[in-house]
């Protein structure tokens, strides 16, 4: 909307020119707020002469001010000028009110803001906890790989697969790094997540899988199936166990698995990429009964040990131990061929294994006393591979 008599037009230009010199030492970009208010009210950009003056001052400082005109360098003078402006369009007036608020109270701080007695933090993105801020930014497209480590590692592992490297470049663009520098809280969050978070990467021929996790929120990138970092749709993970492209997370809502399940690592056979899926034990009544008896957000207490070794999963619970059917066969084969000279405890008889099969799921379970010694002998039972 054009200013009919030009009064507000000229007053905004004068205020803008005054703000360039009088607010150079004040946090908050007041000249830009006034320039945006001009655009909203007048319907065009602020005159180029004013813009050129801003650039000139930023380069050479405020030496262009006349020595005797000391009042022009004071924020109070600018505040008085802004208060005399006639009413503007609502959107322009909101910007101008924000500029006045910065002059009187200072800009809103994203960190270390002092609160009065009884005052609460405003409902804003930067006041969320760091895990939520990190998840919101990465979910919104922010690139957390500021040092391009994913691409560098992929090039070192597989230097000849240019198409795979290009997919990484498109998913983790340099432009998307800028979001971390919008405010101090965002950059602080990135630093903490980079230090305390966990990540994993596997590059094999023309495929690269990478994921990052901070405070239980996990984002993944598989160049075969994803075009960007994608949020794992599951509860927050407490631990993640890995075997190549197979992953199992222990969460307060139970076990979730994703990735490869070609050999029934997740309890069912799938030839493609498995999205995060809740792992159930309907074929193993004791384990299913135990999980159902736990409170909704304490299902993680069921699992006391989990191992992913050579594409085979071993899950130890307080009720029984569970392995996929393929792993049971593998365990039997190793037991038959093991010729260790030192006597080691073994199951009474592997033929006593109770096989549980229902639908696509195929699990085997037996008493902990039988399973644990066998695993200790044949596959070096451990807590699994943790992401680093």
d(CA 56, CA 116): 40
Q: Give the residue with greater pLDDT, 116 vs 378.
A: 116
Question: What does the pLDDT read at residue 129?
Answer: 92
Q: How confident is the model at residue 290 (pLDDT cuts 50, 70, 90)?
A: very high
- Which carries the bigger pLDDT value, residue 237 or residue 337? 237
Q: What is the pTM assigned to this prediction?
A: 0.68
User: Looking at the predicted structure, is the pLDDT value of residue 207 above 70?
Assistant: yes
What pLDDT sits at residue 345? 35
Q: Residues 338-350, buried b or exposed e (16+ Cβ, 10 A)?
A: eeeeeeeeebeeb
Percent of the chain with pLDDT over 70: 74
Note the pLDDT of residue 76.
83
* Confidence band for 332, pLDDT divided at 50, 70 and 90: low
Quote the pLDDT of residue 344.
Answer: 29
Express each pLDDT in 172-205 by its tens digit.
999 999 999 988 899 999 999 999 999 999 999 9
Nearest CA to 176 out of 111, 227, 245 is that of: 227
pLDDT of res. 50 = 53
Q: What is the pLDDT averaged over residues 118-128?
A: 83
């Amino acid at each position: 909307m054009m200013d009919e008599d030009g009064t507000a037009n000229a007053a905004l230009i004068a205020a803008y020119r005054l703000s360039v010199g009088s607010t150079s030492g004040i946090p908050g970009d007041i000249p830009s707020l006034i320039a945006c208010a001009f655009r909203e009210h007048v319907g065009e950009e602020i005159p180029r002469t004013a813009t050129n003056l801003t650039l000139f001052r930023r380069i050479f400082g405020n030496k262009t001010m006349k020595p005797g005109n000391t009042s022009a360098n004071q924020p109070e003078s600018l505040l008085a000028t802004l208060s005399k402006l006639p009413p503007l369009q609502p959107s322009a007036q909101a910007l101008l009110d924000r500029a006045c608020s910065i002059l009187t109270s200072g800009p809103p701080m994203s960190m270390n803001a002092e609160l009065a007695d009884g005052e609460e933090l405003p409902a804003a993105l930067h006041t969320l906890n760091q895990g939520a801020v990190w998840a919101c930014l990465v979910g919104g497209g922010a690139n957390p790989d500021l040092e391009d480590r994913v691409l560098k590692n992929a090039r070192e592992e597989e230097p000849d697969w240019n198409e795979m490297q290009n997919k990484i470049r498109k998913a983790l663009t340099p432009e998307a790094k800028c979001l971390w520098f919008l405010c101090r809280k965002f950059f602080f969050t990135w630093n903490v997540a980079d230090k305390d978070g966990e990540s994993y990467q596997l590059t094999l021929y023309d495929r690269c899988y990478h994921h990052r996790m901070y405070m239980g929120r996990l984002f993944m990138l598989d160049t075969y199936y994803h075009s960007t970092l994608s949020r794992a749709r599951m509860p927050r993970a407490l631990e993640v166990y890995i075997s190549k492209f197979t992953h199992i997370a222990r969460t307060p809502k139970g076990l979730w698995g994703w990735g490869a399940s070609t050999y029934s690592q997740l309890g069912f056979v799938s030839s493609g990429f498995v999205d995060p899926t809740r792992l159930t034990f309907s074929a193993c009544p004791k384990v299913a009964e135990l999980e159902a008896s736990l409170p909704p957000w304490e299902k993680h207490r069921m699992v006391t040990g989990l191992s992913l070794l050579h594409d085979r999963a071993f899950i130890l619970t307080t009720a029984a131990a569970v392995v996929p059917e393929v792993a049971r066969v593998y365990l039997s084969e190793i037991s038959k061929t093991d010729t260790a000279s030192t006597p080691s405890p073994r199951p009474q008889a592997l033929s006593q294994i109770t096989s549980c099969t229902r639908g696509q799921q195929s699990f085997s379970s037996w008493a902990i006393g039988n399973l644990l010694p066998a695993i200790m002998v044949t596959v070096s039972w451990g807590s699994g591979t943790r992401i680093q």
